[in-house]
Copies of this chain bind each other. A is one copy, B any other.
Amino acid sequence: MTAGSGQTSHTRVAAALRTMIETGELQPGDQLPTQEELTAEHGVSRTVIRQAMATLSAEGLIDRVRGGGTYVRVKRPVFHISATYVTQQGDEPRATWTTEAAKHGLVGTQTITYVGETIANDEIASLLGIAPDSSIYTRKRIMEINGDPVQFADSYYPYHIAHGTELARTAKLRGGTIASLERLGYQLGNCHEIVRARPATDDEKRMLQLKDGVPVLVQRRTTYTTDGIPVEVSVSVLAGDRHEMHYTLPAHA
């Protein structure tokens, strides 16, 4: 039960380095000893050192730079996502990606990557309350902060709602999709939001520039009219290290 206890060599090395990071002996941004140095220090092969570092990297504690060394990971600034994109406050204009970013001194932009008619998969059909394989309209966009892509946002509309409207055209919608639905005459009531976390896929890692171990948040939102008819389903995938979801709820409904 000495300081070096543990099942395996790489577990012991990982624990030793983890402790140095957790106690602050190594600060965010600090460089770790090189793999060669650690090999000598712990009297193990480089394979063991690399296994330990893979563990710490997956835990989000370190970053390894090919040719440049290994460093304690620095947390990236977190962007607050609140339901104000949907929930309008009194007579104020509805918040948009750009206005919310500006509030935090950031530049929020978006790129529309696809708008068109598609076939609803089971999940979207179920959320929209329509038959699977129904025709729908799909809008796909990538949201960026200071030029970095940080979020994918796809919206889905029943065919008859979007057909022939601005929702079916490849152009930005003034005030966002919710404002657009209201312009089309829909009285919006509640929306239902589901948030999950999961490991990033290979594509997401590349597109969102996610470091080792960083998960994604998946937000699924269905917006209903006051009559309870679903008019929009939105599925967003957000970089897990850059986003926080904020909600304000009443203690009594």
Q: Tell me whether A195 and B193 are in contact in the complex, defined as CB-CB below 8 angstroms, given that A201-B59, A213-B58, A247-B247 are known contacts.
A: no
Chain A contact residue count (CB 8 A cutoff): 48
Q: Tell me whether A178 and B248 are in contact in the complex, defined as CB-CB below 8 angstroms, given that A58-B199, A197-B217, A202-B59 are known contacts.
A: no
Question: Contact between A193 and B249 (Cβ–Cβ < 8 Å)?
Answer: yes
Residues on B with C-beta less than 8 A from A196 are 78, 217, 240, 243-245
Residues on B with C-beta less than 8 A from A198 are 60, 215, 240-241
Bound-state CA distance A187–B190 (Å) is 25
> How distant is A248 from chain B, measured CB to nearest CB, in Å?
5
Question: Contact between A252 and B215 (Cβ–Cβ < 8 Å)?
Answer: no
Q: Which residue among A190, A201, A248 has the maximum number of chain B CB atoms within 10 Å of its CB?
A: A248
Q: Which residue of B lies closest to A84 (CB)?
A: B253
- A-side residues, CB < 8 A to B, are 18, 54, 58-60, 78, 83, 86-90, 178, 188-202, 212-217, 223, 240-241, 243-253
